[in-house]
Structure 1
Amino acid sequence: MKAVTYTRHGGPEVLSLTERDVPEPGAGEVRVRVVVSAVNPTDWKSRRGPGELAGPAVPNQDGAGVVDAVGSGVTDFAPGDRVWVLLAAAHSPASGTAQEYLVLPAERLVRLPASVGFDEGAGFAVPALTAHRALTVAEDGPARLAPGALAGRTVLVTGGAGAVGNAAVQLARWAGATVITTVSTEAKAALARAAGAQHVVLYTSADAAAEIKAIAPEGVDVIVEVAAGVNAGLHAEVLRTRGTVAVYGDDRGTGSLTLEFGRNLWLNSRYQFLVLYTVGLDRLRAGAEDVTAALLDGSLRLGEDRGLPVHRFALADTAQAHEASENGVTGKILIDVTPA
């Protein structure tokens, strides 16, 4: 089978198309024929290192495909089932999705409804699960998402044209929230509106805090934050009492976060940092159930008409796909691995 691998950390040039044996599933494992693989920033950051590689690694956490074979003891899946995967490359260096077949424990697979495309199954895993976590960490908010779960609440999504931001906008609207988002350009504003944001603020040309406060005079309930350091001052200005800042990124930041003690003290503000790798499989699976429900009823979709343009690459061009992600292309990067 064809697989993209790397044997040392570095830039996209370390990725190469190779031939590998088709892996056999062991007890409790499932072999999946990958139809679509997706690229996220976490994939090229892992490829760049640091750390040591014990052997050839296959990149990419996200993918969707068809069950090809099951190991002993597997009863939840059968050959022919359509699935998407949970953090494939985190399971082992050889289990990334940039290959024609991969083997994973059955608990890392999620059923993909027949009405949902492989593109959505691959494209919304890491971004939507991150967004789901961000929208469910407030102490007085819902632990799960469903229609009406965020009714009466106002959510601020910074960077609403990014993949996580897009998923957060779509999921928050599905759950009934009023959504405000900040973006840098008019083109990105159009994408955020296409995703469903009712209010879009251009932080590059406006007093973002004043505009947000005019929209939400009592403050926003949850901030889904991609740029924690540069937006720290904004949080205290627009957050409601007992509001939550769910932090998943520090874009344009320094790696350190400085907060104004007094204002956050009196707000009883809550900062929740989040990353999927250590959140626990139980929470990943709970989030996956809600994400699948949103996919099933059409409330979560890819495409420019939903604010997330798609950029396609062949498996042999995985290095170019990674390079596009590193260069900050707006939209979702997908890799066609095998025919649907």
Structure 2
Amino acid sequence: MKSIRYSQTGPSSVLSLAERPLPEPDAGEVRLRVVVSGVNPTDWKSRSGATGTLAFEEATPNQDGAGVVDAVGPGVPDLAVGDRVWTCMAAQGRPTGTAQEFTVLPADRVTRLPDGVSFDVGAALGVPAVTAHRALTVAEDGPRRLAPGALTGRTVLVSGGAGAVGHAAIQLARWAGATVVTTVSGPEKGRLATAAGAHHVVNYREGDPAAEIREIAPDGVDLVVEVALAQNLALDQAVIRPRASIASYANDGGDGVNVDIRPHMVLNTRLQFILMYTMGAEALAAAAEDVTAAARDGALGVGEEHGLPLTRFPLERTADAHDAVEGGVVGKVLIDVADA
């Protein structure tokens, strides 16, 4: 099989295309014939060494993907050969990501893809949608699960609505019934956020964004999905209601932040940090179920018309795909591994 491999961390040039033996699943595992692999910032950061050293002699990148179950190991009762599936965290703690024609995964990292949901959608779920789900379910007064109506009557502020996690948060919050406000840096990203389903779009570089958000939500927003806490905490503080939650999932805009303790104490603010890899099995399983349900309902579309432009590369150009994500391309980068 064709596989993208690297044996040392560094720039995308450490990636190379190789022929490798077809892997066999052990107990509790399945083998996935990968159709589309999804690329996220975590993938290039792991490959570059930004998040630590390489734990294996050789590894295949990319956490997310979608394809067809090709073989099933002993002790896997709920998946069968031929099942269409999506996967998340394929390379977490393992050397076998989705940038290859076949990959072996623990069965609990594989979820059935509903009929009618494309492999493109499946490969774009993973890290962004699971992270967004967690961000939307940490509020003290909010739901622990998402479904239609779960966020009815609540206002959600999504910071950076044109990003992959922001896009998923808009779609999931809208599906769950929230009023969705998002901040963006300009008109083009605003157009994408609107296409994703945001009810209100605020350009944070113009005018008084806090006043604009307060006009939309006079009593304050219930929940903030935050990509740049160091940059945006003052704005968040100005627009949240008492007992609101700020769910921070990235360090865009800086690694440190000063918190005004007294104002947040008065508001009973909950500041929740999120990293998918340590959020626990229960939260991961809940996210997989709810995200799949949203996809089944058609709520998680991808492509320009849904606010998430797709940039595609063939498997042999995985290095270019990583460079595109590292370079800040807007939308989702996908790698076409095989025909459906």
TM normalised by structure 1 equals 0.98
- Provide the C-alpha distance between the structure 1 equivalents of 2:196 and 2:80, rounded to a whole number of angstroms: 35
**Could you tell me how far 1:78 is from its partner in structure 2?**
1.1
Which position in structure 2 is the counterpart of 1:319? Answer: 319
Q: Which amino acid aligns with 2:216?
A: I
Q: Which amino acid aligns with 1:308?
A: L
Show CA shifts across 1:289-329 (max 9, x none): 10011100111110111100001110000000000000000
- Provide the C-alpha distance between the structure 2 equivalents of 1:236 and 1:206, rounded to a whole number of angstroms: 17
> Residues 7 and 53 of structure 1 are in contact (CA less than 8 Å); yes or no, is this contact kept in structure 2?
no
Which position in structure 2 is the counterpart of 1:81? Answer: 83
Q: How is 1:108-123 mapped onto 2 (pairs within 5 angstroms)? A: 108-123=109-124
Q: Which amino acid aligns with 2:25?
A: P
Q: Which amino acid aligns with 2:64?
A: D
- Provide the C-alpha distance between the structure 2 equivalents of 1:191 and 1:329, rounded to a whole number of angstroms: 13
**Could you tell me how far 1:28 is from its partner in structure 2?**
1.4
> Residues 8 and 53 of structure 1 are in contact (CA less than 8 Å); yes or no, is this contact kept in structure 2?
no
Which position in structure 2 is the counterpart of 1:241? Answer: 242
Show CA shifts across 1:172-209 (max 9, x none): 00000001000001000000000111110101112111
- Provide the C-alpha distance between the structure 1 equivalents of 2:125 and 2:102, rounded to a whole number of angstroms: 20
Which position in structure 2 is the counterpart of 1:228? Answer: 229
Give secondary structure in 1 for the equivalent of 2:122: helix
Q: Which amino acid aligns with 1:44?
A: W
Kindly report structure 1 stretches of 4+ aligned residues shifted beyond 4 Å.
Answer: none
> Identity over aligned residues, as a percent?
61
Which position in structure 1 is the counterpart of 2:20? Answer: 20
**Could you tell me how far 1:261 is from its partner in structure 2?**
1.1
Q: How is 1:11-50 mapped onto 2 (pairs within 5 angstroms)? A: 11-49=11-49, 50=52
TM normalised by structure 2 equals 0.98
- Provide the C-alpha distance between the structure 1 equivalents of 2:60 and 2:336, rounded to a whole number of angstroms: 15
Which position in structure 2 is the counterpart of 1:98? Answer: 99
Q: Which amino acid aligns with 1:265?
A: M
- Provide the C-alpha distance between the structure 2 equivalents of 1:247 and 1:141, rounded to a whole number of angstroms: 16
How many residues matched? 338
Is residue 171 of structure 2 the alignment partner of residue 161 of structure 1? no
**Could you tell me how far 1:271 is from its partner in structure 2?**
0.3
Q: How is 1:187-198 mapped onto 2 (pairs within 5 angstroms)? A: 187-198=188-199
Which position in structure 1 is the counterpart of 2:71? Answer: 69
> Residues 88 and 97 of structure 1 are in contact (CA less than 8 Å); yes or no, is this contact kept in structure 2?
yes
Give secondary structure in 2 for the equivalent of 1:292: helix
**Could you tell me how far 1:113 is from its partner in structure 2?**
1.0
> Residues 209 and 238 of structure 1 are in contact (CA less than 8 Å); yes or no, is this contact kept in structure 2?
yes
Can you give the 5+ residue segments of structure 2 that lack an aligned partner in the other structure?
none
Which position in structure 2 is the counterpart of 1:298? Answer: 298
Can you give the 5+ residue segments of structure 1 that lack an aligned partner in the other structure?
none
